[in-house]
Structure 1
Amino acid sequence: MSSAERTRASRERILSAACEVIAEVGFEKIRMRMVAEHAGVSTALLHYHFENREKLFTEAMTHSFAHTSTELERDADTVPAAVILARILHSLLPTDPVLRQDWRLWQELWVRALRDETTQRLAVDLYDQLHDWVGQALRRGVDSGEFADCDVDATSTTLLALCDGFGIRLMLGDPRVTVASAQTALWATAARELKIAPQFPQL
C-alpha cells in the first residue's frame, strides 16, 4: 500500500469512527482522544488530519452524506426512475441501524446550527445537495416519460420536509408512525404529483 493509500485509509477510518462516536455520545461530549481511541490511531495522527473538533464534525457529516449517496448509485442507469426515487426516500428515513446513526448525526447538526453560523451554512449546503439529489431523480423520470411533468423544486422540497417530519417521529419511537406508514404517506404524495402507481416500489 502506497503512502497516499495509507493516508486515505487512516482518514476514512477516523471519519467512520467520528460518525459513530458523535452519534453515540453527542458532539458536545466528544473529545479528540475518544475518536482516536475508537479509530485505533494516535491523537497526533488525528490532529494531523483534523485540527479541531469543529473541522472533524464538518468532515464527518460530509463523509456520512457522501457514503449514503454512493451506495444508492448502484445500477442507477438500468432501473426505473421510480425505484431510484424510492431508494432515496427510503434512505432519508431511519430505516436501519446505519441510517439511524446518520439521523443522530443530522440531529446533532440541527442543534449546532441553531447557535453556530458556520454549522448553519453547512446544514443549508447539505440540504441543497439533498434537494438536488431528489430533484435529479424526479427530472430523470419526467424526461423519460415515467413521471408526469411537475414542479421539481417544489416537489423535492415537500418530499424532504415529509422525510424530516416522519424521521423525527420514528427516531422518537412514536407509536403512531412506522417505517411502512411513513413510506406509504411519502409515496402517496409523490404519486399524486407524478401520476404514478401509489404502491411503494420494491427496492
Structure 2
Amino acid sequence: MAETSASRGREVRRRLVQAARELVPERGWTAVSTRTVAERAGVAPGLVHYHFASLQALLAEAAVGALREMVGGVGALLQHAGSPTEIVDLIAGEADRYTGTDPASLLAVETYLAATRDPALRRELSAVLDEFRNGLAGRLHEHGVPDPDATAAVLAAVIDGVLLHRSLGPAPAVAPVLHRIVEKGEQ
C-alpha cells in the first residue's frame, strides 16, 4: 500500500516527539535545540516548525505525554488495590522503578523545572497531576481513608520528592512511612 502524505507526516511528528523525549534527559530542557531534535529524528530542521508552533511546544508535548503515560499506568494499577496499604505498595513499587537518574526521572525533573518558567507548560503539567491525584483520592475514598483529597496530594508529593532525592543519592524506603499515613482509614 502506498504511504500517504498524512501517514508520513504522522511518522515525522512521532519521531520528533520521541527525539525530544530522549534529548531532554540527556542535555537538559534549555540545551535542546531545533537542530538537535531534527538531527535525532532524522529530519530537516524546518520540519520541527512545520509540525509544531515552536520548539517549546514540541518539548512540552513530548514531556507531558511521557508523564501522562507514566502516571496513567499507575492509575490503572490502583484499580487492583484492595486496601489503602495495597495502594501505597503499588505506588511505592512503581516509584521504585525509577532511580532518579534514569531518563524518565530526568525528564520529569526537567519538565517540573521548565514549568516554573512557562505558564502553559505549568497548566498542562498541573492537569496531569490533578488527574492522578483525583484518581488516587477516589480510590482512597472508596477505602475510607479520611480526607482522601489531601492524602492523595501528600502521597503524590512524597513520591515526587523521593524521586527528586534519588537523583542525589539513596532515598529511604517510603512504603512503611506512607502506610502510617493511610492506615487510619483501615481501623
TM-score by length of 1: 0.72
Percent of pairs with identical residues: 26
Q: Is the 8 A contact 2:75 2:135 kept in 1?
A: no
Higher mean Cα deviation, 43-52 or 26-35?
43-52
Letter of the structure 2 residue corresponding to residue 53 of structure 1: L
CA RMSD of aligned residues (A): 3.0
> Does the alignment pair 1:80 with 2:81?
yes
Residue 33 of structure 1 and its aligned partner are, at CA, apart by: 1.4
Letter of the structure 1 residue corresponding to residue 90 of structure 2: R
CA gap 1:193/1:43 in 2 versus in 1, 3 angstroms:
farther
> Which digits, 9 at most, give the CA deviation of each residue in 1:153-177, with x for residues without a partner?
111111012112212211111x4x2
Residue 113 of structure 1 and its aligned partner are, at CA, apart by: 3.0
Q: Is the 8 A contact 2:98 2:104 kept in 1?
A: no
Letter of the structure 1 residue corresponding to residue 33 of structure 2: R
Please give the secondary structure, in 1, of the residue aligned with 2:117: coil
The residue that corresponds to 2:174 in the other structure is 182
Note the 1:144-159 alignment, pairs <5 A.
147-159=143-155
Note the 1:52-131 alignment, pairs <5 A.
52-72=54-74, 79-82=80-83, 86-91=89-94, 93=95, 95-96=97-98, 100-131=102-133
Aligned residues: 183
CA gap 1:97/1:21 in 2 versus in 1, 3 angstroms:
farther
CA gap 1:149/1:137 in 2 versus in 1, 3 angstroms:
closer
Letter of the structure 1 residue corresponding to residue 18 of structure 2: S
Unaligned runs of 5+ in 2: none
Residue 123 of structure 1 and its aligned partner are, at CA, apart by: 3.4
Letter of the structure 1 residue corresponding to residue 53 of structure 2: E
Structure number with greater CO (CA < 8 Å, separation at least 6) is 2
CA gap 1:23/1:155 in 2 versus in 1, 3 angstroms:
same
CA gap 1:5/1:72 in 2 versus in 1, 3 angstroms:
farther
Residue 72 of structure 1 and its aligned partner are, at CA, apart by: 4.4
Q: What is the CA–CA distance in structure 2 between the aligned matches of 1:168 and 1:18, rounded to whole Å?
A: 21
Residue 58 of structure 1 and its aligned partner are, at CA, apart by: 1.4
Unaligned runs of 5+ in 1: 197-203
Residue 28 of structure 1 and its aligned partner are, at CA, apart by: 0.9
The residue that corresponds to 2:40 in the other structure is 38
Q: What is the CA–CA distance in structure 2 between the aligned matches of 1:90 and 1:109, rounded to whole Å?
A: 22
Note the 1:122-141 alignment, pairs <5 A.
122-139=124-141
Q: Is the 8 A contact 2:100 2:166 kept in 1?
A: no
The residue that corresponds to 1:199 in the other structure is none
TM-score by length of 2: 0.77
Q: What is the CA–CA distance in structure 1 between the aligned matches of 2:126 and 2:92, rounded to whole Å?
A: 19
